Amino acid sequence: MIMFIMARNMRRRNGGNFRAIAPRAHPGSILRGKRGRRAIRMMFDKVIDPDTLVSTPEGFTIGIRIPWYRALPLSTIEVGLLKVDGKDIPLEGLVFNLNGKRRTLAELESIVDETWFITDTAVLEVKGFPLERGSEHEVEAVVAVRPPYLKGGMRRVGHITRTMRAN
């Protein structure tokens, strides 16, 4: 119902022509207005939480955020890519740490009773890829969500590359 009202209001603001604004809208979104586009861009800017790249004796950790505006069950989350300085990090070895629980990415598919809230930062633990403290690295991450309340199996992908200093 909310989407219908938003679409109706968009048509009113644009002289009844919904298609005239669709190509300029952010991909996969019909949110418009002064804050609509910025809010969506911010969700993707926060996929990699700033200042969370931490060097550990075994490798490193990095904080990621959910690229969505509502909390979602862990079963709807997919980490699709992690690269550091252009080198792919094997996803099979990553440990996903949220709410004090450590899990592999494969385990997330079956966790329907635990929620990732938008204010929480999940920590990905990477072993076997040591980073020197104080060094700068280009980190690329892809996190996808499939909100269970949207029909048609919509998949929203947050993809960002950020230069970070290892703490």
Give the per-residue pLDDT at 54: 92
Give the per-residue pLDDT at 15: 52
Give the per-residue pLDDT at 67: 86
Q: What domains are defined for the chain?
A: 2-33 (no CATH), 44-165 (2.60.40)
Give the per-residue pLDDT at 5: 46
Give the per-residue pLDDT at 45: 59
Q: How does pLDDT run across 49-74, given as a tens digit for each residue?
A: 888 999 999 999 999 998 888 899 99
Ranges of the chain whose pLDDT falls below 70: 1-45
Closest CA relative to residue 130, chosen from 63, 60, 51, 52? 60
Give the per-residue pLDDT at 34: 45
pTM of the model: 0.70
Q: Specify the long-range contacts of residues 62-65, CB closer than 8 Å, at least 24 apart.
A: 62/123, 62/124, 62/126, 62/139, 62/141, 62/164, 63/121, 63/122, 63/123, 63/124, 64/121, 64/122, 64/123, 64/124, 64/141, 64/143, 65/118, 65/120, 65/121, 65/122, 65/143
